[in-house]
Each structure stands twice: as C-alpha cells, then as structure tokens.
C-alpha cells in the first residue's frame, strides 16, 4: 500500500507539472528596468525577455529600435537558453535621457511567426515602463535675512527714450495694419494669393520616382528604402482621404480605408505594401528582389487607381469644326 501510495503521489506531481507547462502561452514578452528613478544623464539597464516554444520563429530586436526619448548607449544580445521545449531569449539595452520630467519607454513590439516556416507574422508587445528623471541641482538651504533699506532711484533717461520709441513703433504698426486692411478690402488679399496645394497623387508619384533614383536597393539600404515607401503611401492616403495615416498603424489605416469608396483590388495593394514595409522595418525581414519590385508596383498602382483627376469643361457657345479644326461661336453656327 505504501508503494502504491508513493507511485500515485509521484504521478500526480508529474501530471501537475506537465499541466502547468502546457498552460503557459506560446510566447511571452516581458520588459524590466534596474531602476525607475534617476537623475539627468544617469544610465538605465532596460531588459527585454522573450520566452516561446521552440517550434516558433521570432525576429530578434537589434540596436535600431525606438525607445521613445531615450538614447541607446549600448546593448547586448544573450545566447538563447533552451529548456523543456521552450527557448528563452534576452536583450539588454543601456539607455539614458538628458532632460528632466516623467518619460515612458513605449511598448516594445516583437514580431513572430506561429511556425518555423514563412507565413503571416504577428506582433506582441512588452508593457510600457514609466521613468522619473530628476535634476542634479538641489535647492540650497534657505536662510532668513534682514530687509534691505530703500535706495534712491536716479532719473532713467533710457526708460524715457524706450517709452517714446515704443509709442512711435506701435503707431507705425497700427498705420501699416490699417493700410494692409484697406488693401485686403480692395483686392481680397494682403500680398498675393497663395498657390493651391499640389494634388496628392502628383506628389506621391514624383516622390516614388525620386526614391528609385536614389538606388537604395543597390547600396543595401533596404530598411531606408521601405521606410520611404511607407511614408510615400501614407502621405498620399492622408492627402487623398484626409486620414491621419502618418500617426496611425497600418491596421488602423486599412480599417479606415475599408470605409472609403475603394475597390477590393486597390485595398489589397495598399495592404500588401504597408504590411511588407512594416515587416522590413520592425521585424528585420529581408525581402527578395521580386518583393522589392512588387512593393513599388503595388504603391504606384494604388496611387494611380485611386487618384482624383479634375477636368475643365468647355464654355457653352463654342463648338469645334471637326472637318477643318476651326472653332466657331454659337451665333456663327446659327447663321449658317
């Protein structure tokens, strides 16, 4: 009986441990700092830990990450630790800030693929951390002192000159403002009419051609190339559909575009261009030559397929003679 009781207890412990391990999520991302209260210029060690199953592929963060207003002084990537079918990866960043106040290290995004093969990626974020930065200058101990006796103030001629000059300057500004008011009342504007803003599609297509001339891909500047591609399409969407695309995530942009009068084909091109750019910028994904060509084509086709063209209608009373190319007025046609 004692032997059976011991085996039963052992099996219960093993089953409990296995059940506890199986209940863990596929991937966990945690972030910590060694201190949250510093003085200006002090350095903080920011540690990012990624715990995931060994069948999952995770894109490790490098030195080119964004940590808000904090400047990265140094970083270290530790070797992965494998244990019981899981992998623990850790990265440490030594950061600093040169201002006082309350600052926030933003949520750290980590891109991962549910399987070890290529496919749709997902993002998981570490929690944000608040850092309090104080000045190194401390208030000196205050002491009570006797009140100083009154002093004689000599006549200030400079003050008189300043007052007279200020009155003359204010009078000149009032006169100039009145003249500008009369000019605007007469002509409708102060100096000249401002030029209308250029159409969003013209700016986007021109920026795309300038980007291709820079030849970033031949120089190996893949991340810079996709950053410019993302900015071009976001600025076009902002100018064309009045969506704050430069401040929103790709998912938020696509949700708002879905409510616009856009065909499914054009939405797909915008989605592919934005998501591939995010994958290269944030997940350190290395695209193929075909994907580099496709992202340019997707962006150009989306702009050309959704741009608005304005045409000038011909004035009534004028017709064109298609035989000899002469333009005749309506009165001349009537007399014929």
If one counts every other C-beta atom within 10 angstroms of the C-beta of residue 176, the result is 10
CB–CB of 239/203 below 8 Å?
yes
Q: How far apart are CA 279 and CA 41, in angstroms?
A: 34
Report the alpha-carbon distance of residue 83 to residue 138 in Å, rounded: 49
Walk along the chain (336 residues) and give the pLDDT tens digit of each residue. 555 445 555 555 554 554 444 577 888 888 899 998 988 888 999 898 888 888 888 876 765 677 878 888 888 888 889 988 898 889 898 989 888 889 888 888 888 887 766 667 788 888 889 989 888 766 545 555 677 788 777 777 788 888 899 999 999 999 888 888 877 777 666 566 667 788 899 999 999 999 999 889 888 899 999 999 999 999 999 999 999 999 999 999 999 999 888 999 999 999 999 999 999 999 889 999 899 999 999 999 999 999 987 665 555 554 444 444 444 444 443 444
**pTM of the shown model:** 0.40
Residues 24 and 199: their CA atoms lie apart, in Å, by: 52
**Residue 213: which H helix or E strand, with range?**
helix 200-214
Other C-beta atoms lying within 10 Å of the C-beta of residue 278: 20
Q: Compute the distance between CA of residue 11 and CA of residue 269 in angstroms, rounded to an integer.
A: 56
């Amino acid at each position: 009986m004692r032997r059976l009781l011991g085996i039963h207890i052992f099996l219960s412990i093993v089953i409990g441990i296995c059940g506890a391990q199986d209940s863990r999520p596929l991937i966990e991302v945690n972030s910590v700092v060694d201190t949250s209260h510093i003085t200006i210029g002090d350095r903080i060690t920011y540690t990012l830990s990624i715990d995931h199953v060994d069948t999952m592929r995770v894109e490790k963060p490098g030195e080119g990450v964004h940590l808000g207003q904090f400047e990265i002084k140094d970083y270290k990537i530790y070797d992965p630790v494998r244990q019981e079918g899981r992998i623990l990866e850790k990265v440490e960043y030594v950061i600093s800030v040169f201002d006082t106040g309350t600052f926030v290290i933003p949520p750290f995004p980590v891109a991962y693929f549910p399987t070890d093969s290529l496919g749709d990626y997902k993002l998981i974020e570490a929690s944000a951390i608040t850092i309090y930065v104080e000045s190194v200058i401390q208030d000196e101990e205050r002491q009570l002192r006797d009140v100083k006796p009154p002093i004689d103030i000599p006549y200030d001629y400079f003050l008189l000159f300043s007052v007279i000059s200020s009155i003359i300057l204010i009078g000149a500004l009032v006169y100039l403002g009145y003249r500008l008011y009369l000019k605007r009342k007469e002509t409708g504007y102060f100096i000249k009419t401002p030029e209308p803003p250029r159409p969003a599609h013209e700016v986007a297509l021109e920026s795309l051609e300038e980007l291709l001339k820079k030849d970033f891909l031949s120089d190996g500047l893949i991340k810079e190339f996709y950053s410019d591609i993302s900015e071009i399409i976001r600025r076009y969407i902002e100018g064309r559909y009045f969506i704050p695309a430069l401040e929103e995530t790709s998912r938020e942009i696509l949700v708002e575009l879905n409510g616009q009068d856009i065909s499914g084909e054009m939405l797909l091109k915008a989605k592919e261009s934005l998501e591939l750019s995010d994958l290269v910028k944030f997940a350190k994904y290395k695209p193929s030559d075909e994907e580099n060509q496709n992202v340019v084509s997707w962006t150009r086709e989306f702009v050309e397929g959704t741009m608005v063209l304005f045409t000038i209608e011909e004035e009534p009373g004028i017709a064109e003679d298609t035989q000899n190319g002469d333009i005749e007025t309506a009165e001349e046609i009537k007399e014929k």
